[in-house]
Structure 1
Amino acid sequence: MASERSDTGMDTDTTDLALKILVSGGFGAGKTTLVGAVSEIRPLRTEEPLTRAGQLVDDTGGVDRKTTTTVAMDFGRITMRPGLSLYLFGTPGQDRFWFLWDELSQGTLGAVVLADTRRLDACFPAVDYFEHRRIPFVVAVNCFAGATAHGAHDVSRALDLDRGTPVVLCDARDRDSGKEVLVRLVEYAGRVHTARMLDSVT
């Protein structure tokens, strides 16, 4: 807790709250793009060029123009309001990097699972990961140009999400759209954690 002096000369206590958020999803779903779009600092990226060896294990169907991939994490920060900041950790999408997810998920408030309706099955592993670990998450459908439009209810049914898990439509390139996804996640994760605390004391 930090102490700041107000204009009146009185000491006022202010608490700066920093929350850890994961941005996950399948290969090529837009994780790096979302972190970069909303971050108020220059994002840290660990992108490397796709190689011929990687083509043997990475399904690039539907994302043929993708030339790089995240091999460790993306990192960004956004201030939601005075005293509240979100630290964003973008995870690699391919299963060969999943050993990093356990490290990145420690201490997280919740997660955003980015989904591409052209390759919806690519986000199943992320959904399973967070459901099994009881980490609150929202599914953000990244509305790619040329993709068939699907409503939030249809996506929820296709992914067989637990009841109440939010599904939002977004454009990962747009800062305001990405920020709205994060607002929905923080609100939802806050309700989930509050309900669990109440259950633990009853």
Structure 2
Amino acid sequence: MQNVKIVVTGPFNAGKTAFIRSISEIDVVSTERKITTAAERVKDQTTVAMDFGRITVDDDLVLYLFGTPGQKRFDFMWEILSEGMLGFVVMVDSTRPETFREARSILETFRAYAPTPYVVAANKQDSPDAWDLEDMRVALRLDRKVKLLPCVATQKEAVKNVLLELLYSILAEMEEGRS
């Protein structure tokens, strides 16, 4: 049995908790707390430590999904959660370009923690306000080799596609390491 730890990270309110909830086969263990400041009132709760979910891909493969807090004041959890990860997903809200710089910074932080494969999930692609993927690639300064994938975090099939692309990248890297 192969256990694979994947971290789902990104800015506040990018869709990390929804992403994990839509695919997990167990009830997601969540450390959400009520938001108290008016400035953060985009939603009622925020993750303060982590979200945890699990998905069994087949008899030989189980994915453990760890969602990070998106707020800077909880970033001390990022390094802890990155320990032992084989890959990560950076969630970006396609409708909130004001968060793109922060998403880029989070991406660079996680790459510094561990040089593992990663993908970028452009969430809320079903919204009429969603940025085009190519425009997002430019704004996020992503190399052409980086997989920038359309996503709707509440749709299981979209989440599955993002995770499969990440798994393909992890497997390709493992194959390279063997040769």
Shift of 1:165: 1.1
Counterpart residue identity of residue 115, structure 1: V
Aligned-partner SS, 2:30:
coil
Of 116, 129, 139, which aligns to 1:135?
Answer: 116
Q: How does 1:78-89 map onto structure 2 within 5 Å?
A: 78-89=55-66
Q: How does 1:132-171 map onto structure 2 within 5 Å?
A: 132-133=112-113, 134-143=115-124, 146-171=127-152
Could you tell me which residue of structure 2 aligns to residue 175 of structure 1? 156
Shift of 1:147: 4.8
Of 100, 121, 134, which aligns to 2:101?
Answer: 121
> Counterparts of 1:123 and 1:178 in 2: how far apart (Å)?
18
> Counterparts of 1:115 and 1:152 in 2: how far apart (Å)?
11
Aligned length: 175
List 4+ stretches of structure 1 deviating above 2 A.
119-122, 130-133, 144-154, 192-195
2:7 matches 1:22? yes
Aligned-partner SS, 1:46:
strand
Could you tell me which residue of structure 2 aligns to residue 44 of structure 1? 29
Gaps of 5+ in 2: none
Would you say the 8 A contact 1:112–1:138 is kept in 2?
A: yes
Q: How does 1:49-68 map onto structure 2 within 5 Å?
A: 49-52=34-37, 55=38, 60=40, 64-68=41-45
TM-score w.r.t. the length of structure 1 is 0.79
Gaps of 5+ in 1: 1-15
Shift of 1:131: 2.8
What is the percentage of aligned positions where both structures have the same residue? 39
